[in-house]
Structure 1
Amino acid sequence: MLLFASCASHDTRETVQAQMLGESGHGFVTDSIGLSIESSTLAGDGKALQTRKLVSLFEDFRPGMVLRIGGNTSDQMFWTSKGESKPTDYGFTATPASLNKLAELTKQLGWRVVMGVNLRARDPQRAADMARHARSIFGDWLTAIAIGNEPNVYYPSNPPFGTYASDVRRYTNEIRSAVPDVAIQAPDASGNRSDFIWSSASQFARLPAAVPDVYASHFYGAQGCDTGSMLPRALFTEFADERRKSSLDNIYHAASLSSAPKVVLSEVNSINCGGMAGISNRLAGALWMLDFAFDAATQGFNGIYFHGTITDCIAYSPVCVADDRAINTADPFKALFMLNRMANGMAMLSVAPYVSNSNIRLYGLRGRNSLVLIAINTGEGNGDWVDVNVDLPGSDFVELTATEIFTKDETSTDGTRLARKTSMDGVPPDLDRECASGPGDSEPVATARVASRPASAKVLFFCERND
């Protein structure tokens, strides 16, 4: 009877058939993925940074990742290079010593830096002075100056939003006068404020001197500020997917309207207002991070920067310094590591299921002589195993290895699979090196096959025969 039951269970397992097609979006490169942290990290000359421990933690990451310093606290920051006392209406002081402390980390890791300046203060000369010192300290690793953070909060609430565009033009002129070769990033608006996104883009289009080099906006998968009973599954519902699609469409097309040459999602995470423990910092948050990054890259976004507060251990921070100075990592840190290792000059490919399954999300990457398939399963029940078969673009690919994020805590009754701790089996390989001499003697396959377990992301890596 047990044997028959096992067979019946296997026979009813759903199968998803799909095909890997041509390129979609932009390439997946080292600066496609970034970490966003609060400007308050610079307070107290940056002494809260545990540089040696953080360098050790990130030593297996590829160099070139972006570190954005911004968030709400960028508009509470008082910058001074002259030792001035902080006025009472600012939250903290940042100095050249703060930037030097941060540079100890970024230079050792080879990280690119996006530095936020205070727009709310309406002091473009002070912002330009900060940009000048940032260029001197970070050198060519300083890739952009971000003017303000979520200005939709402190400009008038209705279009045309007061003097926003003209203020950005003043800041841009001052910053480019001080550092001619630095990119300007704006508006860094809330992703749910489509009115501000479209209005700022149209104003930029009418003011060529204000057009940013990088059009930036934010996105959070769910609104957690006033919700105490959210379930992990809420990140992956049809409503959540539609909300994401609508927001990203607005942002991408607004960037095109503004004539900005690049568009990034500069502050991203699963749930806003610091996230929610048991969701943002667990398997649900890790799977959401992977799914969102590949989805946005497929849609053409040049960068996706996941937000946290590196000096404050709240739920959505992938990594943080605890009160005892120990470095803590949440489960999404594993996803950040996986994304960084895969962002190696590959093209995003579209993967089209013949019949869709709401739990299965498929993505593809194509390298010089390599191929990657990502299968994400957001189901939670024992019956949510899915056999995924994807036709590859040709029959000359040999499977090299696999990496999987899932939970080994299958017996826990404390919440669903998505709320459990994340396990990671395998490490994404260096495909350029591994595939340079060909895939060896293994038999090539025309179809990739994945037994996709509930609440998991499995990544298959292939080398292409070159004989």
Structure 2
Amino acid sequence: MALRTGPGSPGPGAAARLVVVGTACVLLAACSPPAPPQVPAPAPSTESAGPTTVEPTADPWADVSDFVPGLVTWDSALPEQSVEGDPVEISLGEGEDPVGSFRRTNVGLSFEASDLADERWEPGTSSLTPLIAALNQPSLRFGGNAVDRRVWWTSSDESAPDWAEFTIGPDDLDRIARFAEATDASVTLVLPLGHFDPERAADMAAHAERALGDRLVAVAFGNEPNGFHHQSQLDLALRDEGWDAEAWVGEAEDYGQAVHDRVPELAVDGPGAYDAPWWRAFGEAEIENKVALSQHWYPLWSCPDRSGETEERAEPEVENLTSQWLHERAETVFGQGKDTADNYDLPLWIEETGPTSCPGTNDSSRTHAQTLWTADFVMIGAAVGAQRMNHHSSLAACRGGAPMSMVCGMGAVPNESPRVIAQSNYLALLMLSQVGTGELVEISSSDPEVRAYAVAGEGYTDIVLVDTGEPGTDRAMDLSVDADRLHGISTLTAESLEATNEGRLRLLSEADAVPDSLPRGSVTLLRFSDE
């Protein structure tokens, strides 16, 4: 594997030549590593923050070690791997020029609005607090199908209607505000639209703004309104067959006016939909304080047990999660969202996503392949220009709960146990929470199975390599480096793509702890100093 700086490489170290020869990385220009960056804690804002140099500290990681299976901080080398076949060339300063930046909010979680009623959001009462805090100023979003179908908001203790399964009130928003403060998270909130009631939604928005303050970056009107009447999911229907983007705009503008009357400065994102006509409808809608176009996408949408159109490449299978087709498809779909957002001078937010929209457990659930997909997906979104990305999750029980969730509860019912634990895909977010913020820069890989990304920070460059090959085969990456320039390394591995909740994450360590080998089927973070 050869890694070289070239034309367009960032930072004062651009003249240095980094070479990985036959998968051995050698630094030919020595210089001193930078001091570890300090960790500022800026208040979240509705403005799109530009690149900064925010770095994680090791403190939160110690707090989560009991709740994250596979989290390790060893200093010893990984087992040696057999190294065969042609080397892979990674060239910094070559390839396509990304348009995006890596922000803290590119690491985030989405939850059902019904989860707001869960008492485990109270800071310090469950392991949920350290799990979210360890993600280093993440994005949080509350919405999902529940917000329009099962959640009732009241600030005056009214009796809930028969259709409501969860009642949310000011105390719940106060609790999530304390949680956001304790974990240094920013929040977006979906207001219920399924049962049309603009004044009730405006009341919820007013209480949310009072509780969360600047940590509430935006509200949205309804979750996936394009699914309020969709032929493939009539069981979720909330409107009749005449429902379309134009009808939604009429209702959203009524909501926008009601919210603006109560909370004049509150920002709005939307449409929270997975169809382009609805994105354009939001862009053209007369709604005050629009701050972002929000896109949803679950790429493995073809469910074997559903009738209608199918696509073999989009079924929830391990081999599909790591396929080159899915990688390229993500670049295309996110690019379409970014182009639409640009047309309306709005940033792009991926407010809800996950590997598959198919219900229940399947062959891809909680696998290492899903972990690799998560890391690649986040970096694709950042490279395309998405400024927030939230992976849909749930506080439901681990046994029988949402199989794609980043976290799950150990109790059989909500609030039964304070113990919330991480799933395999959480390890990908924890790994990426170590990446410094900054502009993504040109980098290329000679092997499509090794996806390469580079983030230019202030005084360093972080390189993220996502190798989607089968672990234990013939392309382990033997690594030897000059520690004067390689400042740190982190690796995420497993024994196979099918391994379930068996990932091993080695957190960012100094260069003298570089492992002897890096197997295929891994995510690697290499931090190079520029001085």
Q: TM-score, normalised by structure 2?
A: 0.72
In the TM superposition, what is the alpha-carbon distance from 1:227 to its structure 2 partner? Answer: 5.5
Alpha-carbon distance in 2 for matches of 1:231, 1:51: 37
Give 1:47's aligned residue.
119
Give 2:487's aligned residue.
400
- Counterpart among 12, 15, 27 of residue 87 in structure 2: 15
2:396 is equivalent to residue 311 of structure 1? yes
In the TM superposition, what is the alpha-carbon distance from 1:306 to its structure 2 partner? Answer: 0.9
- Counterpart among 439, 448, 460 of residue 347 in structure 1: 439
2:140 is equivalent to residue 67 of structure 1? yes
Kept in 1, the 8 Å contact 2:271–2:278? The answer is yes
Kept in 2, the 8 Å contact 1:221–1:235? The answer is no
Alpha-carbon distance in 2 for matches of 1:151, 1:210: 19
Kept in 1, the 8 Å contact 2:129–2:179? The answer is yes
Deviates more, 1:217-226 or 1:114-123: 217-226
Give 2:130's aligned residue.
56
Give 1:424's aligned residue.
504
In the TM superposition, what is the alpha-carbon distance from 1:388 to its structure 2 partner? Answer: 9.2
Letter in 2 for 1:310: L
Give 2:339's aligned residue.
253
SS in 1 for 2:382: helix
Aligned CA distance change for structure 1 residues 201 and 269 (closer, same or farther; 3 Å):
closer
Alpha-carbon distance in 1 for matches of 2:464, 2:139: 23
In the TM superposition, what is the alpha-carbon distance from 1:331 to its structure 2 partner? Answer: 0.9
2:272 is equivalent to residue 188 of structure 1? yes
In the TM superposition, what is the alpha-carbon distance from 1:381 to its structure 2 partner? Answer: 5.5
Alpha-carbon distance in 1 for matches of 2:134, 2:280: 42
SS in 2 for 1:25: coil
Runs of 5+ unmatched residues, structure 1: 1-8, 390-394, 411-415, 443-447
Q: TM-score, normalised by structure 1?
A: 0.81
Alpha-carbon distance in 2 for matches of 1:158, 1:338: 45
SS in 2 for 1:36: strand
Alpha-carbon distance in 2 for matches of 1:152, 1:277: 26
Alpha-carbon distance in 2 for matches of 1:113, 1:239: 33
Deviates more, 1:222-231 or 1:113-122: 222-231
Give 2:297's aligned residue.
219
Give 2:260's aligned residue.
176
In the TM superposition, what is the alpha-carbon distance from 1:21 to its structure 2 partner? Answer: 2.1
Kept in 2, the 8 Å contact 1:399–1:460? The answer is yes
Give 1:362's aligned residue.
452
Alpha-carbon distance in 2 for matches of 1:272, 1:179: 34
- Counterpart among 195, 203, 213 of residue 129 in structure 1: 203
Q: Which structure is higher in RCO with an 8 Å CA cutoff and minimum separation 6?
A: 2
Kept in 2, the 8 Å contact 1:66–1:111? The answer is yes
What is the aligned residue count? 417
Q: What is the RMSD of the two structures over their aligned residues, measured on CA atoms?
A: 3.0
Give 1:102's aligned residue.
176
Deviates more, 1:262-271 or 1:86-95: 86-95
Aligned CA distance change for structure 1 residues 250 and 275 (closer, same or farther; 3 Å):
farther
In the TM superposition, what is the alpha-carbon distance from 1:146 to its structure 2 partner? Answer: 1.6
Alpha-carbon distance in 2 for matches of 1:96, 1:137: 8
In the TM superposition, what is the alpha-carbon distance from 1:70 to its structure 2 partner? Answer: 0.7
Aligned CA distance change for structure 1 residues 50 and 385 (closer, same or farther; 3 Å):
farther
Alpha-carbon distance in 2 for matches of 1:11, 1:301: 37
2:347 is equivalent to residue 234 of structure 1? no
CA offset digits 1:318-374 (Å, max 9, x no partner): 1122325121210111111122232x4322123123x3x232111111100011111
Letter in 2 for 1:18: I
Aligned CA distance change for structure 1 residues 275 and 376 (closer, same or farther; 3 Å):
farther
Alpha-carbon distance in 2 for matches of 1:108, 1:55: 8
**Richer in helix (by share):** 1
Kept in 1, the 8 Å contact 2:268–2:288? The answer is no
Percent identical pairs in the alignment equals 23
Alpha-carbon distance in 2 for matches of 1:452, 1:275: 33
Give 1:266's aligned residue.
351
In the TM superposition, what is the alpha-carbon distance from 1:157 to its structure 2 partner? Answer: 6.1
CA offset digits 1:91-139 (Å, max 9, x no partner): 3211111112222322211111111111112211111100100111111
